Amino acid sequence: MAAKTLSTADSRRPLIAAAALRAFSRGGYGGTTVADVAREAGISTAYVFKLFPGKEQLFVVAVDACFDQIEATLASADTSHGEASPTAVLDKLGDAYADLIADRTLLLIQVHAQSVAGIPAIGDALRRGLARITQFAKERSGGTDLDVQRFIAYGQLCHLVVAAGVADIDEEWATILSHNLRHPTP
């Protein structure tokens, strides 16, 4: 039996999703056009519109692609250290995530998504992604709900520290917020 070949549209969707992720992470929802995404993908704006009816759907695809990458990275994290405690497993997941966001693309798309989560489809995509990561962390770590809540809260603090450049400020308040956070430089 011959292998099924993807249609041109099916093969282009992941390319466009990756381009949307990059473009929206730089410009946010309000500052990025469908033409920007098309340019990033190296295809025509008309073709992007053929596959995605508008900017909102493109942003949702970018958010979904972001959480796909996060979950894949967390899934590949080496958490198999014998009888590792839930805290140790969550720390390993956090390390894998810190390495992943060194280029800031995934971090920024999440920050941008939070800023426009009032748009129903985008808010739904963000919540869907957060649900996936929360459930994954719970299942992988075997931790309590409170353990997982702290893991997610710590990740959000990392986003704030990185996005606001807090780690580069030599003041007491900044030191308090960034204490023990690891952020690989891009």
Q: What is the DSSP string of 57-113?
A: HHHHHHHHHHHHHHHHHHHHS---SSS--HHHHHHHHHHHHHHHGGGSHHHHHHHHH
pLDDT tens for residues 14-52?
Answer: 999 999 999 999 999 999 999 999 999 999 999 999 999
pLDDT, tens digit, for every residue of 134-175?
Answer: 999 999 999 999 999 999 998 899 888 888 889 889 999 999
Up-side HSE of residue 74: CA atoms within 13 Å toward CB? 23
DSSP state of 167: G
Measured distance CA(58)–CA(10) in Å, rounded? 15
pLDDT for position 186: 59
Report residue 31 as tokens.
């500052």
CA angle 61, 76, 11 (to 5 degrees): 35
**Mean pLDDT of the chain, nearest integer:** 90
Q: What is the pLDDT of residues 86-131, one digit of tens each?
A: 999 999 999 898 888 878 999 999 999 999 999 999 999 999 999 9
- Complete domains list, the chain, with CATH: 8-178 (1.10.357.10)
